[in-house]
Structure 1
């Protein structure tokens, strides 16, 4: 009887499908471009060249999700914008150009014609410890962000008032980072 049970067990094991060959991890993963999203990042530096944060922009073809992680910044509310040129070489960051506005609409959500341009994002609040985070969306596209002259992310000295044209009266540029595709 035991021999019969052993034969049954061997038969049952033989009928089970054999596992497929293991697939290398890189064969199973899709790139963000294949999934319809692309990512760019920027290291933020202050006017002294110190690293003061990072920014990540993730696009799906219709909009961008922007995430900022700041450190070593002055306490308070600060305007945060995507700027039109990927260049932070000027000591005051004016080389980054104006706010990214590919559709030529008004700045701010509280302007006469509230059509915020692609560079508009909420203010970032920096705490007493010099850190702050921001999550926001942009109406811009990844291909626009990474066009021929690129784009930069800028944090300003003052908060954006969401209505003054063309840039929200946010004051001096105190941090800047150039986006690069990741």
Structure 2
């Protein structure tokens, strides 16, 4: 009797899981709820990607990258969908309001909308991280700076760690990887 009950339970649980696995693109969340960026280095070589998922209270960003110096790296959301030269074409950090706030997750008057927690590269220079921000969005409405505005946005990884207080970028140094954010 107990064996039959467990078997029936397994069958009833497997049916919904099978349905989830077979969901096609038409059944995904509407455009604007997902986005991504291919990360390139200063030589233009692909070094990773960032995948954005809109949640009800903010934006989850999954970052995968290679070829970085081992250690902590600042990572920020920037104003323009451009990744030219030393990536200065990406502009400053995004700002959802007029004038923005000072840089830094630990700044009493901050943070600005582009500030994110640091990511860590292992001894081989690989990053696999998830960061979350309530100050940016890819959905058409909601709180935070809208990344799909008229000039788009980008995500930038810096050479060093962000100390989350020093102006203007927390001492994070050169921009070593950049990705243009696009709707997925």
Q: Under a length normalisation based on structure 2, what TM-score does the superposition of the two structures give?
A: 0.76
CA contact (8 A) 1:62 1:141 kept: no
Q: Which runs of 4+ in 1 moved over 4 A?
A: 25-29
Match of 1:97 in 2: 91
Query: 1:17-96 maps to which residues of 2 (within 5 A)?
Result: 30-33=27-30, 38-60=33-55, 62-89=57-84, 91-96=85-90
Structure 2: give runs of 5+ residues left out of the alignment.
1-21, 141-145
Q: Following TM superposition, by how much is the alpha carbon of 1:165 offset from its aligned partner in structure 2, in angstroms?
A: 2.1
Q: Following TM superposition, by how much is the alpha carbon of 1:150 offset from its aligned partner in structure 2, in angstroms?
A: 0.6
1:59-86 superposed Cα distances (whole Å, 9 cap, x missing partner): 2464211110111222111101111111
Higher CA-based Rg: 1
Q: Under a length normalisation based on structure 1, what TM-score does the superposition of the two structures give?
A: 0.77
Structure 1: give runs of 5+ residues left out of the alignment.
1-24
Could you tell me how far apart the structure 2 residues matched to 1:111 and 1:118 are? Answer: 13
Distance 1:72 1:28, change over 3 A: closer
Aligned length: 155
